[in-house]
A and B are shown apart, each in its own frame.
Chain A
Amino acid sequence: MAASRTPIRLPRVLVAESGHDGSRPPPGLDAGILLRSTDLATVIERALADSNPPAVDLDTIRGLDADDAAVAFLRRRLSIEILLTRRPKAASAFAALGGLALHNVFAFDSTGLRRSIASHPRGARVGTVISPGLVLSHMLPSELALLVRPVVAYGLINTVADARACLEHAAAVVVRRSVAEDLAGGM
């Protein structure tokens, strides 16, 4: 497959799941599935079964490396459109194949945040996952301005209020299903 330049649409909500139950995002919500903390066979099964391919948290998939071969397999064979990873090289490779890569930036304190941003590969089609996402609403405007768009908030977003606060600064949030269902009920 040639590297497509078609824009990839990022849903506002990514529902983090292991993929074993085959569930869909809650109806009425601009949402997709993020497969994480699962195994390669499940990623393949879900990617081939779903008309909307799931996003994949590359670094948490058992049995899957984070090298060029793995990235090409996800993009070309499974048609994965959105990839989350802490590895700059994998993010760049996935973006080069026409996918939307989201590079993990860790925000444990302000100094570490700047160092983590410095490792971002930049480039077209490489956005940012901010971890933990809940920190977004505590960041200074000058820090928010450093984040490469689109920004996805991921981690410790445990309530609808948390998710809404993050969505004021981020293009999307990663939440558990229970939070997504609450969002669907109240959005």
Chain B
Amino acid sequence: MTSYAPPSVSEFVARLADAPCCAAIVDPVRLDAALRSRAPGIFVLRGNGLDLNDLIERVHDTGKLVAVHLDLVEGVRADHWGVAWLARAGVDAIITSHGQLMSVIRKEGALAIHRLLLSRREHLDTAVNAFSRWRPDIVEILPGVVLPSVATLLPPLEVPLLAGGFIRTPLDARAVLGVGAVGVTTSSQALWDLDGR
């Protein structure tokens, strides 16, 4: 690979200040639109994890960051070696619900994004304990659209928060940013150009 190095957490968060919505890609035909947009990052949620080199190069050529969901792409197992594969392919961040992989991801030099699937109130306490144990760089909460309703139930988190899932309108996005999320991940193309100011 090249000598490219992923950004630090603070650099990642800084990029979200101007354009807070990252493009969630579940279909490769949407990639071109995402690359033309203001979205600072491309979150790859589907596709062949063993065949990402061209995609990563195209994303980096536009100055954007690329995050890959370890649990959802095909061909790569959610374990130490799968993490190593993606990191060495040049991804900037790796997303997974497996907390025990956070340290592995950081060790491999990528940003570690812990995806929290929130369906019950009781999960909040469990999640906060998991964050303190696994120490992700960033937490992504799904479904993000409910974040304004549950934000008061969350204790203060010491990691940046992304919100994804059912966020479709500027109003939705502003609402989650208003309760502390630093960014949004969304497949809604209309939001990819949302201004962060």
Contact = CB atoms under 8 A, between A and B. Distances in A.
B149 A111 contact: no
A159 B149 CA distance: 9
B121 interface: yes
Contacts of B45: 111
Contact of A110 (B117, B118, B119, B166): B166
Interface string B143-172: 101100110010000000000111010001
A139 B146 CA distance: 12
Contacts of B149: 134, 156, 158-159, 162
Given A135-B143, A156-B149, A156-B150, A109 B166 contact: yes
Interface in A111-145: 111-112, 131-132, 134-135, 138-139
A73 B165 CA distance: 38
Contacts of B164: 109
Contacts of A38: none
Given A110-B166, A110-B187, A111-B187, A135 B150 contact: no
Interface residues of A, number: 21
Contact of B118 (A138, A156, A158, A176): A156
B130 interface: no
A40 B121 CA distance: 23
Contacts of B166: 107, 109-110, 135, 138-139
Contacts of A162: 149
17 contacts: A106-B119, A108-B117, A109-B143, A109-B165, A110-B187, A131-B120, A132-B143, A135-B145, A135-B165, A135-B166, A138-B145, A138-B166, A155-B119, A155-B121, A156-B149, A158-B121, A162-B149
Interface of B: 24, 26, 45-46, 117-122, 142-143, 145-146, 149-150, 153, 164-166, 168, 172, 187
Given A110-B165, A135-B143, A138-B166, 19 more contacts: A37-B122, A106-B119, A108-B117, A108-B119, A108-B142, A109-B143, A109-B164, A111-B45, A112-B165, A131-B119, A132-B118, A134-B150, A135-B145, A154-B119, A156-B118, A156-B146, A156-B149, A158-B149, A158-B150
- Between B121, B122, B146, B153, the greatest number of chain A beta carbons within 10 A of the residue's beta carbon is seen for B146
Nearest to B186: A109
A162 B150 CA distance: 11
Given A109-B164, A156-B121, A134 B142 contact: no
Interface string A143-187: 000000000001110110010000000000000100000000000
B142 A111 contact: no
A135 B117 CA distance: 13
- Between A112, A156, A176, the greatest number of chain B beta carbons within 10 A of the residue's beta carbon is seen for A156
The 10 closest A-B pairs by CB, nearest first: A109-B165, A108-B142, A131-B119, A132-B119, A155-B119, A138-B145, A138-B166, A134-B146, A155-B120, A111-B26
Contacts of A155: 119-121
A132 B120 contact: yes
Nearest to B145: A138
Contact of B146 (A37, A106, A135): A135
A118 to B, nearest CB: 15
Contacts of B26: 111
A155 B162 CA distance: 21
